[in-house]
């Protein structure tokens, strides 16, 4: 993929992009350049580095700095039941239809799961509909630090602000200022590292949830990912995207709109 002219004007940043890709497989050129460069410049300056070259050398030596880079790059901001009305649509409309089409054995993937709020929201809904024990639930993210937090399942109270009170009571235990997700939900989610842009996806998913990450990718990267998601879903499977990520002309990927921000794969 060609890097745009704005990046070409800054050889220091061009070199940084190449080094990151060569050493980690992360291709920053597939993220929107203006947003990404601004975000990383702030991080670089905050840590006292005047060039991206020096910043990269420090990242190789300091794992904490590298994890901070990943956090800034991947925007690890999440919360349970984000945009609650969309999760209600999933619970009340989408899941019953998937269950009707495919029985109780569902295969679900939370892509770019960050620190775990999204897959745990899925697991709560599946549990309350008596579907969790028969569902295979995968969750992936590129950030090792975020995945470690997800596996611990400990969250500040503000992350639970949109969780219905009865749901929170069933699935969380308070411990001072922290809330622990139940062990049964932790065991139900298979967390693992994954790079959306370079990985080959598993197939046969009934539901893929990828929310609030596509907005950071270039149009070329989005186009590639929508095709990959479509190929990963079984016919009749559903892609659930974020509230700012409506897919225009979904038919080009083999999708049809089911509900707002839900797209099912034509079979």
Burial of 99 (0-12, 13-18, 19+ CB in 10 A): middle
What percentage of the chain has pLDDT greater than the value 90? 70
pLDDT of residue 185: 96
Overall average pLDDT of the 233-248 stretch: 93
Residue 35's pLDDT band, with cuts at 50, 70 and 90, is confident
Overall average pLDDT of the 202-209 stretch: 97
Q: How many CB atoms lie within 10 A of CB 232?
A: 20
pLDDT of residue 240: 98
Overall average pLDDT of the 173-186 stretch: 92
Residue 74's pLDDT band, with cuts at 50, 70 and 90, is low
pLDDT of residue 72: 78
**Using an 8 Å Cβ cutoff, are 32 and 213 in contact?**
no
Q: For the CA atoms of the chain, what is the radius of gyration? A: 19
This prediction has a pTM of 0.82
């Amino acid at each position: 993929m060609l890097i745009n002219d704005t990046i070409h004007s800054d050889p220091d940043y061009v070199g940084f992009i190449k080094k990151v890709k060569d050493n980690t497989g992360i291709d920053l050129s597939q993220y929107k350049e203006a947003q990404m460069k601004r975000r990383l410049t702030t991080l670089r300056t905050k840590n006292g580095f005047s060039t991206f070259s020096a910043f990269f050398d420090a990242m190789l030596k300091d794992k904490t700095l590298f994890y901070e880079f990943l956090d800034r790059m991947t925007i690890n901001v999440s919360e349970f039941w984000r945009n609650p009305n969309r999760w209600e649509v999933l619970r009340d409309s989408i899941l019953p239809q998937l269950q009707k089409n495919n029985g109780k054995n569902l295969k679900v993937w939370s892509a770019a799961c960050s620190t775990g709020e999204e897959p745990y929201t899925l697991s709560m809904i599946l549990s309350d509909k008596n579907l969790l024990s028969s569902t295979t639930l995968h969750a992936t993210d590129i950030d090792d630090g975020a995945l470690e937090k997800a596996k611990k399942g400990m969250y500040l109270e503000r992350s639970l602000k949109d969780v219905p009170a009865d749901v929170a009571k069933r699935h969380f235990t308070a411990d001072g200022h922290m809330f622990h997700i139940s062990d049964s939900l932790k065991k139900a989610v298979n967390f693992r590292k994954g790079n959306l842009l370079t990985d080959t996806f598993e197939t046969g998913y009934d539901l893929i949830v990828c929310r609030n990450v596509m907005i950071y990718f270039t149009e070329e990267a989005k186009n590639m990912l929508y095709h990959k998601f479509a190929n990963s879903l079984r016919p009749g499977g559903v892609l659930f995207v974020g509230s700012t990520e409506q897919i225009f002309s979904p038919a080009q990927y083999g999708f049809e709109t089911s509900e707002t921000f839900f797209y099912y794969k034509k079979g």
